[in-house]
């Protein structure tokens, strides 16, 4: 059975040979992380994303205490398409019960993940939020364990994720070239913070693919604003609120503008966006299509950038409650 797929721009991911959709499906909301999601809705959302040309799905055992992986697995299985038609990334080292980057735990972790996902292999296995572990352990123990899993065919490629950009250079400077295939950065390539761009030449030089998540800065760039626990400073929160209100006053949506800003940089292979309903998929895909056909709304973008200028590139310390 084949599902007729809409055309979506595919971008090469570093030296992996994978071609990922410019927008990636962030599956953390399928773990009911932001409110309950019924299984039937999770399956329908995955199906609609695939139908619209999204071929890249990202999850973690940490999201919803393993529920995200289970829901994504059910959604992918229900597609009944060849395994090579979609690309799946999951993570290891971060769990509901805490962090454990030991070789023993991550080796067990992939088997648990594959069972929940109902897959024989994942395309990418990331070490999840490595700034909470010992980076030297990541280099000397975790990544070698992942290389073994790669040789065993349980993952095709290896990645690392986290908030502070310094973790990527720390690890990549200490592992043999070609050991880490991909990095996943979040909250550092959006209208309010584009510091990831400074790292791209370095990453390209290492042949490492770049995935960026959270183009809405964990909810700051939305009309309702970020969650109560958001670690951003009051100045950053209020500037983002003002930017959202400005867009609304012009009949525009800051979410669409923010997503398009992130998508417009072709050096970033995929922008991950959390989705848990068919309507969210449709809205996100419409933003991609509009960007391809009409380009950015430069006028509103420059007005928003002016509002955010005083807080540009302001980040926050990595906190355990995030993501």
The answer as to whether 243 is a domain residue is no
pLDDT greater at residue 36 or residue 91: 91
- C-alpha dist (Å) from residue 70 to 117, 119, 264: 6, 11, 32
Number of domains in the chain: 1
Q: Sign of the CA dihedral 46, 50, 53, 56?
A: positive
* 299 vs 303: CA distance, rounded Å: 6
Helix, strand, or coil (residue 194):
coil
Does residue 227 form part of some domain? no
Which pLDDT belongs to residue 320?
Answer: 47
List the single range of 112-121, 227-236, 314-323 with lowest mean pLDDT. 314-323
At 4, is the pLDDT very low, low, confident or very high (cuts 50, 70, 90)?
confident
CATH number, domain of 139, equals 3.20.20.100
CB atoms within 10 A of CB 224: 8
- Percent of the chain, pLDDT > 70? 98
pLDDT of residue 2 exceeding 80, the answer is: no
Confidence of residue 303 (pLDDT cuts 50, 70, 90): very high
Q: Is residue 311 part of a domain?
A: no
**Catalytic: which of 62, 63, 86, 261?**
63
Q: Is the pLDDT of residue 63 over 60?
A: yes
Q: Would residue 121 show up in a list of annotated catalytic residues for this protein?
A: no
User: Is residue 77 one of the residues assigned to a domain?
Assistant: yes
pLDDT surpasses 60 at 321: no
Residue 175 lies in a domain: yes
Domain that holds residue 204: 10-222+256-295
Q: Are 212 and 189 in contact (CB under 8 A)?
A: yes
Inside any domain, residue 241? no
Would the pLDDT of 36 be above 90?
A: no
């Amino acid at each position: 059975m084949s599902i007729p797929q809409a055309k979506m721009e595919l971008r090469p991911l570093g030296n992996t040979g994978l071609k990922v959709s410019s927008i990636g499906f962030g599956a953390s909301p399928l773990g009911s992380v932001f409110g309950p999601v019924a299984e039937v809705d999770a399956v329908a959302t995955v199906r609609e994303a695939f139908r619209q040309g999204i071929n890249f799905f990202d999850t973690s055992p940490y999201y919803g205490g393993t529920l995200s992986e289970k829901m994504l697995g059910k959604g992918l299985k229900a597609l009944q398409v060849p395994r090579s038609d979609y690309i799946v990334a999951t993570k290891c080292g971060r769990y509901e019960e805490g962090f454990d980057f030991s070789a023993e735990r991550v080796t067990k972790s992939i088997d648990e993940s594959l069972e929940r996902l109902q897959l024989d292999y994942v395309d990418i296995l990331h070490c999840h939020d490595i700034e909470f572990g010992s980076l030297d352990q990541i280099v000397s123990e975790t990544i070698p364990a992942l290389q073994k899993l790669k040789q065993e065919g349980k993952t095709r490629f290896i990645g690392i994720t986290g908030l502070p950009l310094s973790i990527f250079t720390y690890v990549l400077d200490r592992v043999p070239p070609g050991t880490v295939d991909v990095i996943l950065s979040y909250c550092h390539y959006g209208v309010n913070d584009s510091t990831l761009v400074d790292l791209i030449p370095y990453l390209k030089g290492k042949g490492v693919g770049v995935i960026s998540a959270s183009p809405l800065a964990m909810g700051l760039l939305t009309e309702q604003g970020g969650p109560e626990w958001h670690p951003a400073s009051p100045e950053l929160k209020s500037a983002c609120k003002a930017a959202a209100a400005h867009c609304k006053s012009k009949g525009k949506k800051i979410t669409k503008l923010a997503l398009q800003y992130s998508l417009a940089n072709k050096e970033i292979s995929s922008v991950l966006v959390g989705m848990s309903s068919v309507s969210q998929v449709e809205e996100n895909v419409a933003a991609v299509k509009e960007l391809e056909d009409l380009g950015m709304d430069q006028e509103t973008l420059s007005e928003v950038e002016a509002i955010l200028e005083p807080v540009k590139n302001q980040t926050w310390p990595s906190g355990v409650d995030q993501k």
